């Protein structure tokens, strides 16, 4: 016990040193940039195209950040103190998750929710490992719970797994939980609370990284997940249009699903059956049907994030393909009367987000060309990335009050030099329907 405590203390000290090193390195970089007075003005004169692109990008940044910050501070968590207790069907689709799926199933079984109103569907999607064995272990361990196993002999994909559970579900609400995820006891109760409003078709919870302390990559993703699943979703929840109800933890009104599930499971794009981006797609169907989508901050789930760069790139590619496809679909109906009122901000937010994504690609591409011709500006370029990263991390500090924000600044560099380029790659390989998570 003493040895374990000593080892933990050493690891904590080591991490603190690392955080200080990252902080001081980036601070020195920004300070040096400031002393130099930033990029030389004559370079902008010599490269007027870069100047124009920088001005355009700057305009979008200065529109997006105050707008996003205002919505973030206006967000109020839905009232989760009410006594709304609809019957709930939870679906946990799994493919080659091994013992991890047992932890997911048991976290749902231990939920603070009436057992007589809760049923759990474990879908083994043709796994070639011992996933089915661990599902059965959970059934045996929680005999008092209504846990049902659906076993596919062959892999059919996540959509088919969810659809099969949906077709058997008896609940008023369908909840999706990823097989590498553990939910907090109050997650289900808090997640379904906004559905008391008949106008709300779906709700999604807060997602944190379960394995965030495993290595440097997971520490960065721990920060990134907080920003992606809290900062952005909370800001969009203020106008009741969260564009992605994450498959990690989301709840859907069953009456809404009955209108869209057949179209969703058979969705085609560019002539191909859709096999990725099931959560963003289903959210889009809900929105298009005229219903609100809400973010619930105190419905918390912890999921396993990629620990290696290769797996992270595959995950981001899948997200980007879904982003492109569903953005095109949303653009097709966002100016139509798909619901009564509350349509301006969703359209405005969508346009700003699209333009920010495109301008980031353009400005970073132009920066690379500029640096090739003026190598002396490399430190200036790095300082600009660090400065922007620090600025965004102010929101993380507000949310988490943690020094882990330094990992978010490092993630900004990973995004610029590696991950941002997955968006154009996703665009040119859009017809590739592979499930890119493995």
Cβ contacts of 106 within 8 Å, gap of 6 or more: 138, 141, 142
> What's residue 38's pLDDT?
58
pLDDT at residue 35 is higher than 70:
no
- pLDDT at 293 exceeding the cut of 70: yes
**What percent of the chain has pLDDT above 90?**
70
Query: Which tens digit of pLDDT belongs to each residue from 169-180?
Result: 999 999 999 999
Q: How confident is the model at residue 11 (pLDDT cuts 50, 70, 90)?
A: low
Would you give the DSSP letter of residue 341? S
How many percent of the chain have pLDDT more than 70?
A: 92
Domain boundaries, the chain: 2-74+349-428, 88-333
In the prediction, which pLDDT does 435 show?
44
- Using an 8 Å Cβ cutoff, are 150 and 166 in contact? no
28: Cβ–Cβ under 8 A, 6 or more apart, which residues?
Answer: none
Lowest mean pLDDT among 26-30, 85-89, 193-197, 217-221: 26-30
Helix axes 344-373, 309-333, angle to 10 degrees: 130
Beta bridge pairs of residue 294: 203
CB contact at 8 A, 111 and 194: no
Q: How far apart are CA 241 and CA 254, in angstroms?
A: 18
Mean pLDDT across the chain: 90
Q: What is the pLDDT of residues 361-403, one digit of tens each?
A: 999 888 888 888 888 788 888 888 898 899 889 999 988 999 9
Architecture of domain 88-333: Alpha-Beta Complex (3.90)
pLDDT at 393: 92
Sort residue 137 into left (φ over 0), alpha (ψ -120 to 50) or beta: alpha
Do 89 and 175 touch, CB atoms closer than 8 A?
Answer: yes
């Amino acid at each position: 016990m003493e040895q374990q405590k000593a080892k933990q203390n050493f690891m904590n000290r080591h991490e603190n040193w690392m955080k200080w090193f990252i902080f001081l390195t980036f601070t020195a970089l920004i300070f040096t940039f400031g002393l130099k007075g930033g990029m030389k003005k004559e370079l902008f004169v010599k490269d007027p195209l870069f100047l124009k692109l920088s001005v355009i990008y700057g305009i979008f940044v200065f529109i997006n950040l105050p707008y996003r910050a205002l919505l973030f501070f206006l967000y109020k968590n839905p009232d989760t103190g009410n006594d709304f207790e609809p019957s709930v069907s939870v679906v946990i689709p799994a493919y080659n998750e091994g013992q991890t799926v047992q932890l997911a199933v048991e976290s749902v079984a231990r939920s603070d929710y009436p057992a007589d109103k809760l049923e759990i569907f474990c879908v083994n999607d043709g796994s070639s490992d011992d996933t089915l064995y661990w599902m059965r272990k959970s059934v045996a361990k929680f005999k008092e719970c209504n846990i049902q196993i659906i076993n596919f002999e062959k892999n059919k994909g996540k959509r088919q797994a969810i659809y099969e559970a949906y077709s058997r579900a008896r609940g008023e609400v369908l909840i999706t939980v990823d097989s590498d995820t553990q939910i907090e006891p109050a997650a289900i109760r808090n997640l379904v609370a906004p559905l008391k409003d008949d106008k709300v078709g779906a709700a999604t919870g807060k997602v944190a990284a379960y394995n965030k302390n495993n290595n440097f990559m997971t520490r960065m993703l721990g920060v990134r997940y907080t920003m992606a699943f809290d900062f952005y979703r909370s800001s969009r929840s203020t106008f009741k249009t969260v564009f992605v109800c994450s498959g990690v933890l989301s709840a859907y009104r069953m009456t809404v699903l009955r209108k869209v599930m057949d179209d969703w499971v058979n969705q085609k794009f560019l002539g191909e059956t859709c096999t990725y981006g099931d959560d963003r797609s289903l959210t889009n169907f809900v929105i298009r049907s005229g219903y609100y989508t809400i973010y619930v901050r105190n419905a918390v789930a912890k999921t396993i994030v990629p620990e290696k760069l290769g797996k992270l790139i595959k995950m981001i590619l899948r997200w980007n393909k879904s982003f492109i496809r569903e953005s095109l679909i949303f653009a097709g109906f966002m100016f139509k009367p798909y619901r009564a009122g509350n349509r301006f901000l969703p359209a405005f937010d969508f346009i700003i987000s699209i333009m920010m994504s495109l301008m980031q690609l353009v400005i970073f591409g132009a920066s690379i060309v500029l640096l090739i011709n003026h190598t002396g500006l490399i430190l200036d370029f790095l300082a600009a990335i660090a400065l922007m990263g620090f600025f965004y991390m102010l929101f993380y500090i507000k949310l988490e009050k943690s020094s882990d924000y330094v990992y978010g600044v490092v993630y900004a560099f990973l995004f610029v030099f590696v991950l941002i380029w997955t968006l154009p790659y996703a665009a040119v390989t859009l017809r590739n329907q592979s499930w890119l998570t493995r």
